[in-house]
Amino acid sequence: MKIKDYELFTVPPRWLFLKVKTDQGVSGWGEPVIEGKAATVKTAVIEMMDTIIGNNPMEIEGIWNELYRAGFYRGGPILMSAIAGIDQALWDIKGKYYDAPIHDLLGGKARESIKVYSWVGGDRPQDVGDAALKLKNEGISAVKMNATEELQYIDSYGKIDEVLARVSSIREKCGKDFGVGIDFHGRAHKAMAKILARELEQFRPMFIEEPVLPENNEHLKDIAMHTSIPIATGERMYSRWQFKNLLHDGYADIIQPDLSHAGGITECKKIISMAEAYDVAAAPHCPLGPIALAACLQVDATCHNAVIQEQSLGIHYNKGNDILDYIEDPSVFEYKDGKVQIPDQPGLGIDVNEDYVRERSRAGHNWKNPVWKHEDGSIAEW
Ligand SMILES: [Mg+2]
């Protein structure tokens, strides 16, 4: 079999889909995107795909190594997201060719289903208690929220109190056993992260996420000294070589590689299995589209340490176009008792609605994250 051709589709709300075609009529889908840089990743995908036309799509490890190692400069969000989407599409082709779900080809399922969580509160979190209760009534058992809005290096305790009030409102409405992940989103700097971590402990969250930016991961040790809340991070880390240092240091409890940013199924399976040896859990990052989510579930299925899956149904970014719109059978992503079943259909386990993809790609998107500023006019972390 040979890779013959490919197409790219920029679709709303903020995604990029890749269709890889073979000379035997089998094709596969991937989602190579970095939020806010879809066009840049698209260019990287074009550069990479043009070098592997004619390759055997079954040789995924060989192609992965060619895309990663044959480039003198490597890694980072753009190149690793491009590889990720290509890798997903190749796995989809392999699964369809063998009429098997990808998890079968990765060694087989270690679980039948996985817990999922939904987002509440949006970029500027508010009304999270009512939003969480609504989701709880729909059968969701865990949510994630942004902790804060802009936060200065040293900021007011009033802002800390606002965070506590919001988390408290979820506890009041949803009870003590409802899962709450609190995403610091890299908005906090070390000093405020320590205060937040200690003050949030009373609410027993599932985890705090990106308490500091990944480039400041050496501070996770300091933050871990102030709390027993599990520390999650990893959505802005892109390879085994970045995760090995995090795991070696020993202060992360949950890693969150993104199947569309960290080299795809091939790389994330290795990253998560490496974490298993450090007794660290995985919760793959996925505020993205249906192809990315399908890829996550295939890897979750085979990893003993995958504990919960992020998913974007109803997330604040997806207004107007959501994940179920782009697939033929939305029941694949049906959440029951807070969990989703691992799909057993061939390949990624979804049928992409290609007519709809083509129609929406005519609209496209130019999604960018907002630029936030502090009151003094300086740039704030978003
Ligand atoms: Mg996050």
Q: How far is the CA of 119 from the centre of ligand 1 (A)?
A: 11
Alpha carbon of 108 to those of 105, 224, 267: distances in Å?
Answer: 7, 35, 17
H/E segment holding residue 165: helix 157-174
Q: Which pLDDT score, from 0 to 100, does residue 197 have?
A: 98
Distance CA 341, CA 204 (A): 27
Q: Are residues 161 and 301 in the same domain?
A: yes
Q: How far is the CA of 209 from the centre of ligand 1 (A)?
A: 6
Structural domain that includes position 49:
3-100
Q: Which pLDDT score, from 0 to 100, does residue 126 have?
A: 85
- Predicted confidence (pLDDT) per residue in 142-166, tens digit: 999 999 999 999 999 999 999 999 9
Q: How far is the CA of 65 from the centre of ligand 1 (A)?
A: 28
**Within a domain: 368:** no
Alpha carbon of 26 to those of 56, 88, 207, 260: distances in Å?
Answer: 12, 14, 41, 22
Q: Which pLDDT score, from 0 to 100, does residue 221 have?
A: 98
Q: What is the mean pLDDT of residues 193-207?
A: 98
Q: Are residues 72 and 220 in the same domain?
A: no
> pLDDT category, 315, cuts 50, 70, 90?
confident
Q: Are the C-beta atoms of 162 and 201 separated by less than 8 Å? A: no
Q: Are residues 210 and 287 in the same domain?
A: yes
Provide CB contacts within 8 A for 263, sequence distance 6+. Answer: 64, 68, 80, 83, 84, 87, 238, 239
Domain edge (last residue) among 65, 100, 135: 100
Terminal C-alpha separation, the chain: 45
Q: How far is the CA of 186 from the centre of ligand 1 (A)?
A: 8
- Tokens 């989809």 identify what position? 92
Q: Are residues 86 and 188 in the same domain?
A: no
Give how many domains the chain has, as a whole number. 2
Q: Which pLDDT score, from 0 to 100, does residue 321 have?
A: 87
Average pLDDT, the chain: 97
**Within a domain: 324:** yes
Q: Are residues 114 and 155 in the same domain?
A: yes
Q: What residues are annotated to the active site?
A: 185, 285
**Within a domain: 369:** no
Distance CA 125, CA 121 (A): 4
Q: Are residues 203 and 320 in the same domain?
A: yes
Q: Are residues 47 and 161 in the same domain?
A: no
Q: Which of 298, 287, 241, 233 is nearest to 264 (CA)?
A: 298
Q: Are residues 230 and 317 in the same domain?
A: yes
**Backbone phi, then psi, for 236, in 5-degree steps?**
-110, 40
DSSP bridge pairs for 20: 6, 28
Distance CA 144, CA 224 (A): 20
Q: Are residues 19 and 116 in the same domain?
A: no
Q: What is the CATH number of the domain that holds 295?
A: 3.20.20.120
- Predicted confidence (pLDDT) per residue in 245-277, tens digit: 999 999 999 999 999 999 999 999 999 999 999
Q: In 373-382, which positions are buried (b, 16+ CB within 10 angstroms) versus exposed (e)?
A: eeeeeeebbe
Q: Are residues 142 and 288 in the same domain?
A: yes
> pLDDT category, 314, cuts 50, 70, 90?
confident
Q: Are residues 118 and 230 in the same domain?
A: yes
Q: Which pLDDT score, from 0 to 100, does residue 283 have?
A: 98
Q: Are residues 53 and 123 in the same domain?
A: no
Distance CA 289, CA 171 (A): 29
Q: How far is the CA of 185 from the centre of ligand 1 (A)?
A: 5
**Within a domain: 30:** yes
Q: How far is the CA of 210 from the centre of ligand 1 (A)?
A: 6
Q: What string of DSSP letters covers 52-111?
A: HTTS-TT-HHHHHHHHHHSSSS--HHHHHHHHHHHHHHHHHHHHHHHTSBHHHHTT--S-
Domain edge (last residue) among 100, 130, 165: 100
**Within a domain: 381:** no
Using the predicted structure, report yes or no on whether residue 61 has a pLDDT greater than 90. Answer: yes
**Within a domain: 380:** no
